Amino acid sequence: MASERRPTFVLPRGTCDTHVHIWGPFDRYPVAKGAPYTPPERNRDDLVALHARLGIDRAVIVQTTVYKSDNRAMLDAIAASNGAWRGVALVDESFGDAEYKTLHDGGVRGVRFGFLQHLGGVPDLALLKRTADRIAGMGWHLVLHLDAGSILAFEELLRSLRLTVVVDHMGRVPVPEGIDHQAFRILLDLLQQPNWWVKVSGAERISAAGPPFRDAIPFARRLIEAAPDRTLWGTDWPHPNVRWEPDEADLVDLLPEFGDAAALQRVLVDNPARLYGFA
């Protein structure tokens, strides 16, 4: 059952949750055949209620492997948001000019590729490179769902990318590995390049201590220090495949530990507005 607690920390006006997912209603948007997991239904109305509780004004819906490249649920939710939501799509080889135009007109501004074994493993790297070339000219960005192992294994590929790239969930370097872990050092080095961004989301994914996930704070602080104008934040609601089901109010209440008011204004409001074209 969802929490009803409101966070203690009051978010600034215009805060954007840059990492949420929508599943359902399943009678209209059924799960894709061969999906790696079957989630509970969490639809647009559930997200609206969550953001009302937290005090969030904007959102970016990130397509998950549950729907593969069928982006209809996301596009319909964005269309009903009165301009407050954007999207990150999944695509496949069949996507051409018409499909990309539909996505762009529908509020999509990025394409995601995942490298995690439990979600299908390494993507088609040729498709990733072709997609990167295609969307760069559209002003879109690439979103990469990596973990420590894939950062190490694909460092050469990562360094070759020239378009805007956003890394999900702090690179998923586990807290016990520490901020001196080689994969985290690579991520910090990538963030020295002006095309690399990162989300300080997923505290519940990298934590070893559990709720309220305070052991993730040093990772978030270091990333914001490294790229204050290219860091984003998100709840990752509804938290697929997590060890601990977080109360999103706890995630919001971690934010004052991530940086001062000026830093949080950039991370929560200014940076996502610039990347996603919010007014």
The Cα 188–Cα 256 span in angstroms is 21
- How far does CA 121 lie from the centroid of its chain? 18
Q: Where does residue 100 fall: left (phi above 0), alpha (psi -120 to 50 degrees), or beta otherwise? A: alpha
Q: Quote the CA–CA distance of 196 and 158 in Å, as a whole number.
A: 10
**Nearest residue to 14 (alpha-carbon basis) of 88, 103, 101, 83:** 83
Q: Give the DSSP per-residue string, 94-160.
A: T--HHHHHHHHHTTEEEEEEE--GGGTSS--HHHHHHHHHHHHTTT-EEEEE--HHHHHHTHHHHHH
Active site residue 92: no
What does the alpha-carbon distance between residue 37 and residue 31 come to, in Å, rounded to a whole number? 9
Choosing from 168, 236, 250, 270, the catalytic residue is: 236
Q: Which two tokens stand for residue 39?
A: 């989630």
Collapsed DSSP state (helix, strand, coil) of residue 165: strand
CA gap 59, 16 in Å, rounded = 5
Whether 252 contacts 265, CB under 8 Å: no
Catalytic sites, residue numbers? 236
